[in-house]
Each structure stands twice: as structure tokens, then as C-alpha cells.
Amino acid sequence: MNGFSLLKPYFLEHKGIIFLGLGSLILVDILQLLIPRVIKLAVDDITAFRIEPSALLKYALLIVAIALFMGLFRYVWRRCLLGTSRRIEEGLRNRLHSHVQSLSAPYFDRAETGDLMAHATNDIQQVRQATGMGLVAVNDALFLGLAAVGFMAWISPKLTLFVLMPMPGIVVGALFFTRRLHRRYQEVQRSFS
């Protein structure tokens, strides 16, 4: 049984709340990208000497309004996504507990206590983090990353090209270090046994 098939029932059970959380996260990402645009407009007006103090106050209030909406939607996505990951963790712990309770006594003579404890604590905690902040990281990498590159290309395509030139090297480096970290993590997990 692979990892996703184990988690699929939990995702299906909570799909509505997960989509609400992802939608709120995307709104926060969009709002995050708007603040620099508002600051740009304010700075452009200041440098062109065509701004009144009341207009500057409007820019400031717009930034405050955006920040308030960001806070609201950030609260929603945290409740939805991180709350769902906690419910998935609870479901997995209950499932593991039920399974351990159904095992015969001789099994516990053969099993390593460290293995059982690692599965009951570390492994399930890692699944919780992957289903909570992992969803956030993937969503932010895809949506916010693409949107940021789009904004940059809209402002200056040539500068965007220069900025993106080191990206293949960063990707290769990230893959290299990710593999090393995964290998070390596996060693730590084996040491629990």
C-alpha cells in the first residue's frame, strides 16, 4: 500500500474544507502581490510631484485594508489546511492504535520497540506536516512562484530573464541536497529501532 492510498480517504472526506483552505491561500498570495504594486504607484506619484497628502493617506489605507484581508484569509487557510492535517493525524493514530491492539502477543516479542514508537510518533507527525504545510508549500511554489514571475515579466521581460538564469542550477542543487537530507532522515528513522 503506497502512502497516497492510505491518505486518500482522509482527503476525500475533507475535500471541501481543503479546497476552501487552498482558495483562501491563493487569495492571500494575490493580496501579497498587490502591496508592492500599491507602493509602486505611491512612489511613482511622489517622484512625479503629483500627489496630495490625502492621496498618500488613501494609499496607506489601501495597504492596511489589504493587510486586514490577508490576515482574515490567512486565518481561514490555517484553520482549514492545518486543522485538516491534525484531523488526518488523529485518524492515522487511531487506525494505528486499532491495528496494534489487534496484534497477537507473540508479535510484540519479535517486534522492535523503537520501530513501534517511531511509527506511532515520528512517522505520523511527518505525515501531518506533509499534509498541512506540504500542501501550503506546493500551492505557494506553483501559484505564487508563477504569479511573481508573471508580474516580473510584465514589468521588465529582460530583467526577468536575467533573474531566472540561475534557476536551473538552483533546481539541481535543491535536488542534490533533498536526496542527501532524505537519506540522512532515513538513517535517523532506522536508528529509532
Provide the pLDDT for residue 118.
75
Fold of the CATH domain 3-155: ABC transporter transmembrane region fold (1.20.1560)
Provide the pLDDT for residue 1.
57
Provide the pLDDT for residue 192.
63
The pLDDT profile of the chain, 193 residues, written as one tens digit per residue, is 577 788 888 889 999 999 999 999 999 999 998 999 999 999 999 998 888 888 899 999 999 999 999 999 999 999 999 999 999 999 988 988 898 889 888 888 888 777 778 777 878 888 898 889 988 999 988 988 888 899 889 889 999 999 999 999 999 999 999 999 989 888 877 776 5
Provide the pLDDT for residue 66.
97
For residues 107 and 178, the answer to whether their CB atoms sit within 8 Å is no
Provide the pLDDT for residue 38.
94
Provide the pLDDT for residue 145.
85
pTM for this one? 0.78
Instruction: List the chain domain ranges.
Output: 3-155, 157-193
Provide the pLDDT for residue 39.
94
